[in-house]
Structure 1
Amino acid sequence: MTGAITDDLLGAAAAADPYPIYAELREHAPVHWSERHRAWLVTRYTDVAAAFADKALSNDRVRPVLERRRAEGKTSPGESAAAPSASERVLAMMADWMVVTDPPAHTRLRKLAAGAFKGQRVSAMDERITTLVDELLDGVTTGTDPVDLVAEVAYPLPATVIATMLGAAPEDRDRFRDWSDELALVAFGAGGEARAERHERALAGLREMDGYFRELVAARRAEPGEDMLSALIAGREGTDALSDDELVGMCALLLFAGHETTTNSIANGVLALLRNPGELARLRADPELRNAAVEELLRFDGPIKVLNRWVVAETSLGGRTISPGERVHLVLGAANRDPERFTDPDVLDLGRSPNPHVAFGKGIHACIGAQLARSETRIAVSRIVDRLPGFALAAEPEWKDALASRAMESLWVHPA
């Protein structure tokens, strides 16, 4: 190959359609050191799957950033070096979340959380999720003007579901959405001179959320219910249990991870169907296809583009030696379009089987809330398809310029 490889996963072109960049990397440099991102980009399915099982690649990815900032005494514009910056305080609050820890801490937290995510508990939410989706769609189907399905359905639904599952008051769902947005400023925001302001906003949101969840934990300890938080408090048989700090962290993680991921899954899935009218018609004609359809929509244009790992011991991926202290970006979107693993990977095939995509990760760190995200996506996409029989794309979507998430600002459609 001649010329430089395009490895910029940020910017307008990569945001709108990253798949040509993924294909180039996968074919010509499947394990590629990117000066742009100061990380290894891993794009082949085989290598990504191997990385998930490689103990040299740590998921403890917040603490190293926090420790480095403390060691270097870094501050952002507007922050004082005399006291911990807003950035450090935000990172410190996130460092012990289950999703960014390794065994043995991760093993313990996941075991204690598992009971709250039992299949029957999630399945029992299907009726409530359907009702919520229909309530949101009631406002969409009453008019003829274009509507933004992100703002009207995909964005509000997950926060409402999580609030319901945690036993929070329904009227608090707007606060849940606001807190999730503040966390997203840190997890998915761009760098630059806005960093200090961004982290100050996130810190304010985290403090408010922390206080709210502590009150909710105290209320559920005093009077348990049938909600997920009560199940988390009850834990498993034995003497070990989640502390109040761990319960608050688990609630925050459920809110943030569940909201961002599910919003993207719904919106990206609807867009994929609109751009593939033959598959949309196929789905309408065969409701039994809906579970398989969700898996294919997740593979085709999933909610997360990149997962980050820190290297803690020398290892090898795709024939390249990777050293301690380096970062690895596992490019899930590229792995899910790898022609060595999927036949016609750039074709949407709702009946694809088998479909071993890695949209929710793999191994011990696979998303614990994946079943809930699947249920919300299946129900939301199905109800949109059923209730908007003539809907069509009204404008090209505007994509967020983010490294980690595959997310739209808006998805405008003609409802009929």
Structure 2
Amino acid sequence: MPAVTDDLLALPANTDPYPLLRDLRDSDPVHWSEPHRAWLITRYDDVSAAFQNKALSSDRVRPLLAARAGRPATTTVLSLMSDWMVVSDPPAHTRLRKLAAGAFKGQRIAGMTEMITRIVDEHIDAFLTEPGPQDLIERVAYPLPAIVIATMLGAPPEDRDRFRDWSDELALVAFGTGGAARAERHERALRGLIEMQTYFGALVEQRRRDPGDDMLSALMARDGSDGLSDDELVAMCALLLFAGHETTTNSIANSVLALLRHPDHLDRLRQEPELIGPAVEELLRFDGPIKVLNRWVVSETQIQGRTIAPGQRVHLVLAAANRDPEKFTDPDVLDLGRSPNPHVAFGKGIHACIGAQLARMETRIALARVVARMPGLALAGEPQWKASLASRSLEALPVRCSP
């Protein structure tokens, strides 16, 4: 067993989880963690195989409902999230993903390049007019995905701040740390969820009457009894908002921070802008937006000789798998030209992130424009990380940009 703590929320591990994850992967790659009451799976091959293991269920919200009976706010929030595609198994997941896939066609996403570039440039323009240190997350990385998602769903642009607020409330539950603040978090999330459901319900009704070129209209375009119901459309909108906003914000912010801490790589990217594609893949591997994906054990299974029992939880530690030396040469070294680069930052298999292409595009464009237009960019303080088990996310990214 490793001599180090296995609490991923302890301050040193939350700030820099990679030394702890390296020790776990080397000494006890299938590790029972008492602090998390879950198995921590840290080797790349084991994580990759776990995505295909039918004993490990993505339907991980429903089991919590019974365990948390008697907590009205908590159970209501979990009930609203329990039908999301990402927390369902086949056949429900198969049907929902097939219906959603039409809205995420490559041609539709590729056609958003000009819009995303314009949004990024508008925010960089505003950033550059303000003197002194500023938060790059608040000014660029945070608003971009909210605006993109609002536009994709055909919502009025002025509603984008509401989208951001709802995404934050959902993140309190999905990525929260537990403890004494849990009840307060769920009360806040419940208020946000009810408001969001009402909003999306009205938007669905409007698009039923007057369909457009937006993604919501595409989601409801399928004829026949197999189409998405209004409740499923509302749930899909909520999922797209939450998953698309949090992950993309983290991807952009973490990538900028990694480059600022590796100025030689930042200079290389300025000199070789055509490297942006593989650079983003490497930055996703090096310090990606999600540390942990959760699974619920529905039947006994064996991983590396350890017996995993039904009713237990498994944490697939993506951050550890993406730095496994058995899969990646010099895994703790940032290499913008790394190839091949089979990272699992967006998952794998049937539950691979359906919006990965969009997240990659937003990150590539945002990073390329920041690098090209902000040559004097530098850290203006030590960034602080949010205390989160699942998400690798910064509280703020203080920077300054000299002429």
Aligned to 1:112: 99
Shift of 1:382: 0.7
Aligned to 2:226: 240
1:157 and 2:144 are equivalent in the alignment: yes
Aligned to 2:217: 230
| Mapped partners of 2:10, 2:246: distance in 1 | 20
Amino acid at match of 1:216: L
The CA deviation string for residues 182-220 of structure 1, in whole angstroms up to 9 with x for no partner, is 111111122222222211111111111001001100111
Aligned to 2:52: 53
Work out whether residues 116 and 232 of structure 1, in 8 Å CA contact, stay in contact via their aligned partners in 2. Answer: yes
The CA deviation string for residues 243-291 of structure 1, in whole angstroms up to 9 with x for no partner, is 0000000000000011100000000000011111111111111121111
Amino acid at match of 2:7: D
Residues 195-204 or 50-59, more deviating: 195-204
| Mapped partners of 1:273, 1:48: distance in 2 | 27
Aligned to 1:145: 132
| Mapped partners of 1:415, 1:225: distance in 2 | 40
Shift of 1:227: 0.3
| Mapped partners of 1:44, 1:137: distance in 2 | 39
Paired residue secondary structure (2:45): helix
Aligned to 1:213: 200
Aligned to 2:114: 127
Amino acid at match of 2:293: L
Residues 310-319 or 297-306, more deviating: 310-319
Work out whether residues 166 and 229 of structure 1, in 8 Å CA contact, stay in contact via their aligned partners in 2. Answer: yes
Amino acid at match of 1:10: L
The CA deviation string for residues 29-53 of structure 1, in whole angstroms up to 9 with x for no partner, is 0000011110000000000000000
Amino acid at match of 1:269: S
Aligned to 2:382: 396
Shift of 1:238: 5.1
| Mapped partners of 2:185, 2:260: distance in 1 | 35
TM-score by length of 2: 0.98
Alignment of 1:371-410 (within 5 A): 371-410=357-396
TM-score by length of 1: 0.95
Out of 224, 237, 255, which is 2:241 matched to? 255
1:16 and 2:15 are equivalent in the alignment: yes
Aligned to 1:199: 186
Aligned to 2:300: 314
| Mapped partners of 1:122, 1:181: distance in 2 | 24
Work out whether residues 140 and 415 of structure 1, in 8 Å CA contact, stay in contact via their aligned partners in 2. Answer: no
Work out whether residues 6 and 24 of structure 1, in 8 Å CA contact, stay in contact via their aligned partners in 2. Answer: no
Amino acid at match of 2:326: E
Aligned to 1:176: 163
Aligned to 2:29: 30
Aligned to 1:274: 260
Out of 81, 90, 111, which is 1:103 matched to? 90
Aligned to 1:40: 39
Residues 136-145 or 203-212, more deviating: 136-145
| Mapped partners of 1:197, 1:392: distance in 2 | 37
**Unpaired stretches in structure 1, ≥5 consecutive residues:** 76-84
The CA deviation string for residues 126-182 of structure 1, in whole angstroms up to 9 with x for no partner, is 110000001111111123301110111111111110000000000000000010111
| Mapped partners of 2:81, 2:130: distance in 1 | 42
